[in-house]
Amino acid sequence: MNGTPLGGREKRVKMMKKRVMAALLAALMALCVVVAAPRFAVAEDEEPKTPDVQAQTIDELIAAIGPNVTVALAPGQYDLASAASYGKDTGNPYCRWEPASEQGYELWISGVEGLTLQGAGLEKTTILAEDRYASVLCFDNCRNLMVGELTAGHSPLPGYCSGGVLRLTNDSDVMVAACGLFGCGTEGVWASNCIGLTVIGTRIYECSDSALSADSCYDLRVMACQIDHNGWKGAEGASCLFRAYGGNGFTVTDCRIHDNTANLLFQCTGTRGAAFLSNHVEYNVLSSVFALYDLPATVDGCSFHENSLGSWYAEGYGQPTLAAHDLEGKALSGDSFSSMTHHDTELPEAEGVAGLQPPTDVPAGAEIRVRTADEFLAALGPDRTILVEGEGFSLADAADYGNGIGWYYHWEQCYDGPQLVLSGLMNLTIRSASPEDAITLTAVPRYADVLCFKNCENVRIQDLTLGHSEGSSECAGAVLTFEACNGMSVERCFLYGCGTLGVNAWSGSGLELTECEIYDCSIGGVVLGSIQGVTFENCRIHDVPSPAISLYGCQDVRWNGAPVLGEHYDVTPEGALQPVSLI
């Protein structure tokens, strides 16, 4: 994601907040019956915005997508499969078709700032996906994004879906307002590595697995929404209506949640600042209501009426669930929930979210020298080189270790401690300032990856030693992990255990390992899954269990220039691959 001038970003965020408050007031007035579709209201001191582009077909919509554009969608149905470019080049650098199944595709909108998709009304404008495995709309690496006054879902065909409705990856300052998101999609909203996501005045209904799922998101708010009739029809219910993994600041407020069938209502795992406030919960069939792991959540001002409940707290799978607390910090029992009455509550400020701003822009190609973990975290950003000086450092020495967040990083709780996750980075090099010296970066928790990269592009790691600090127990974390990353390069690095793997990478393209040594890992050297384009050049992998390399669903893999067609290999002392059978 490219940097944004701070002044422009603050202005747009202020406008978005005004729209949120206007929509919230309209939605609350209709909450007791149904959360209506409040129009994007114009604040008193804001000039009405004239749409930049009018679209009446799906082709016109695709052609119009771009930075700082409002696309006004006329009434009607927009069938994604009817696009002339369906499954081919869109001709627009900001959107593309990605395969979702053997027959279908999903539309991805990428790298756009300041885009608004505004329909003519919830019941007037509908965007449909026909393929059951495709998400309806996917956004990645977008900023200042608004989607409002439209309905989105899968076209009504027999069977169940495995694709969601809205998929958001590595986006920031996103608002979904006055929309209808319906199944048979698995999820109404699925968000990963997002900062500043507000879903307001929106109805999420007839989804099979959940209303909203969030993975490592910050300042995510579901406000004045209606959540109804979710869960498989005639079979088992949804797994969980609201679900968060990691992150900071996940709140569900002023919503009406009714007539759903689900195993869980609200689940959070290692999520700070989670809150469930001022909601009406009625006529649902729930196996359990709350499942809180690692960290508690705040529950207050809610009414629970005419629900069929198995238990208030889930039993937990291998670990105990924690009790929720009210706004005064008192632990809540089942009797507390039963006697709780609906009333307005003030949103608690999410820890570490308030005041979060992108780092100060630096000139493209700048070199930043660092000696400590704090300096390293502060230097993270796109289009730069970070030069590590001195002997290296432990990530556990960071001042915000385990608690803080930055624009491009956060801490994710593992079983025995925090793991550093780097996300949204582009065109970044991390290397030793003096390759002839041993500069080492370490992680302390045995279950944490040393460095975990998610949704990054064109990142190079050079001339460094990385591993877990020495300890008496075995590790369960890898040294380097890449998830949904493209164009990653590791050059002349030493990756050592007790990490389970030297490199663990899934779902991406363009991974290069050059003159690296991987050793003393407890499970293997390298495990790759669904990676397109992998090159190994002059790498040594030794003192690891067999197989040293495992490849699952990867394409175009080469070892010292020769194609690799199998799945499991060991590496001989001479540096040749030796096939391994696991049967």
pLDDT in tens, the chain (583 residues): 333 333 333 444 344 445 544 544 444 334 333 333 333 443 444 444 445 899 999 999 999 999 999 999 999 999 999 999 999 999 999 999 999 888 889 999 998 999 999 999 988 999 999 887 899 999 998 989 999 999 999 876 545 556 789 999 888 889 999 999 998 768 999 998 888 899 999 999 999 889 999 988 888 999 999 999 998 655 567 889 999 987 778 999 999 999 999 999 999 987 878 999 999 999 999 999 999 987 889 999 999 999 999 999 997 655 668 899 999 889 998 899 999 999 998 765 544 444 455 566 688 889 999 999 999 999 998 899 999 999 889 998 999 887 777 778 877 777 667 888 888 788 999 999 988 887 888 877 656 788 999 878 899 999 999 988 755 445 556 889 998 888 999 999 999 876 688 899 988 889 999 999 999 888 889 999 989 999 999 999 999 999 999 999 999 999 999 999 999 999 999 999 999 988 7
Could you tell me how many helices (H) and strands (E) the chain has, helices first?
A: 4, 51
CATH architecture of 1-44+67-230: 3 Solenoid (2.160)
The verdict on whether omega for the bond into residue 414 sits within 30 degrees of 0, i.e. cis, is no
Task: Give which of 110, 218, 124, 214 is closest to 178, Cα–Cα.
Answer: 124
CB count, 10 Å around CB of 63?
Answer: 17
Coil, strand, or helix at residue 353?
coil
* Residue 186: per-residue pLDDT: 85
Beta strand 568-571 with 549-552 is antiparallel
Distance set, CA 170 to CA 16, 80, 283 (Å)? 19, 23, 35
- Per-state percent for the chain, helix, strand, coil, to nearest 5: 10, 45, 45
Helix H, strand E, coil C: the string for 555-568 is EEEEECCEEECCCE
Nearest-angstrom CA–CA distance, 345 and 441: 45
Query: Minimal CA–CA distance to 432: which of 386, 366, 494?
Result: 386
Cis amide prior to 547 (ω within 30 degrees):
yes
What local confidence, expressed as pLDDT, does residue 245 receive? Answer: 85
DSSP for 272-306 reads BT-EEES-EEES-EEEEEEEEESS--EEES-EEES
What whole-number distance in Å separates Cα of residue 323 and Cα of residue 298? 9
Distance from C-alpha of 433 to C-alpha of 442, rounded to nearest angstrom: 17
Which pLDDT belongs to residue 426?
85
CB 321 within 8 A of CB 313: yes
| Burial of residue 541, with CB atoms counted within 10 A of its CB: 0-12 exposed, 13-18 middle, 19 or more buried | buried
The per-residue b/e assignment along 332-358, b for 16 or more CB within 10 angstroms, e otherwise, is beeebbeebeeeebebeebebbeebeb
Omega within 30 of 0 (cis) for the link into 255: no
Output phi, psi for 9, to 5 deg: -65, -45
What tokens appear for 48 in the block? Answer: 């009405």
Q: What pLDDT is attached to residue 360?
A: 64
- CATH number for the domain whose boundaries are 366-579: 2.160.20
State the pLDDT at residue 13: 39
Q: What are phi and psi of 396, to 5 degrees?
A: -70, -10
- Beta partners for 117? 71, 147
Q: What would you measure as the largest C-alpha separation in the chain, in angstroms?
A: 74
Question: From start to end of 123-260, where are the E strands?
Answer: 125-129, 137-140, 143-148, 151-154, 166-169, 172-177, 180-182, 187-192, 195-200, 203-205, 210-215, 218-223, 226-228, 238-245, 248-253, 256-258
Q: Please identify which residue in the block is written with the tokens 């997002």.
A: 194
Q: Of 164, 96, 172, 100, whose CA–CA distance to 131 is shortest? A: 100
3-state secondary structure of 64: helix
Q: Where in the chain is the domain with CATH 2.160.20?
A: 1-44+67-230, 366-579
